[in-house]
Amino acid sequence: MKKKIIFLIALCFFVATNLYAETVVLKSGKIIEARILERNSDSIKVDIEDVGITYFLSDIDSIDGNKIELSTQSLSVAEPNPIVEKGTYNQNIQSAKEPVDTDINKRVGLSGIFPSSDKGKAAFTKVAGIVLAVIAFLVFISYLYGAVCLWFIAKKTNTPNAYLAWIPIANLFLMCKIAAISYLWLLVLFAGFVPYVGMLVGVGFSAFIWYRIALARNKPAWLGVLVCIPLVGLVIMGYLAFSKIE
pLDDT tens string 90-105: 554 455 455 555 554 4
Cα–Cα separations (whole angstroms), residue 35 to 18, 48, 66, 69, 216 = 8, 8, 16, 21, 117
82 assigned to some structural domain: no
Domain end call among 52, 77, 102: 77
85 assigned to some structural domain: no
The DSSP H or E segment spanning 24 is strand 22-26
199 assigned to some structural domain: yes
Average the pLDDT over each of 48-52, 170-174, 197-201, 240-244 and give the range with the smallest value: 48-52
What would the pLDDT profile of 194-209 be if each residue is shown by its tens digit? Answer: 887 888 888 889 999 9
Phi, psi dihedral angles at 243 (to 5 degrees)? -75, 160
- Band (76; pLDDT cuts 50, 70, 90): very low
- CATH code, 27: 2.30.30.100
Residues 153, 58 share a domain:
no
Residues 68, 181 share a domain:
no
Quickly list DSSP for 171-195: HHHHHHHHHT--GGGGGGGGGGGST
Residues 219, 142 share a domain:
yes
Residues 220, 158 share a domain:
yes
Domain end call among 24, 57, 77: 77
Residues 73, 125 share a domain:
no
Rounded to a whole number of angstroms, the CA Rg of the chain reads 49
The DSSP output letter for 42 is S
178 assigned to some structural domain: yes
Q: Is the pLDDT of residue 87 over 50?
A: no
Question: What's residue 50's pLDDT?
Answer: 73
**Sign of the CA dihedral running 81, 86, 89, 91:** negative
94 assigned to some structural domain: no
Task: Give the number of domains in the chain.
Answer: 2
- Band (88; pLDDT cuts 50, 70, 90): very low
Residues 238, 125 share a domain:
yes
Residues 198, 128 share a domain:
yes
Question: What pTM, to 2 d.p., does this model score?
Answer: 0.49
67 assigned to some structural domain: yes
Domain end call among 58, 77, 96: 77
Give the residue-averaged pLDDT of 64-93.
53
Q: Give the range of the structural domain holding residue 22, as residue numbers without chain letter.
A: 2-77
- Band (190; pLDDT cuts 50, 70, 90): confident
168 assigned to some structural domain: yes
Cβ neighbors of 212 (< 8 A, separation 6 or more) are: 178, 179, 180, 181, 224
What would the pLDDT profile of 145-164 be if each residue is shown by its tens digit? Answer: 999 999 999 999 999 999 99
41 assigned to some structural domain: yes
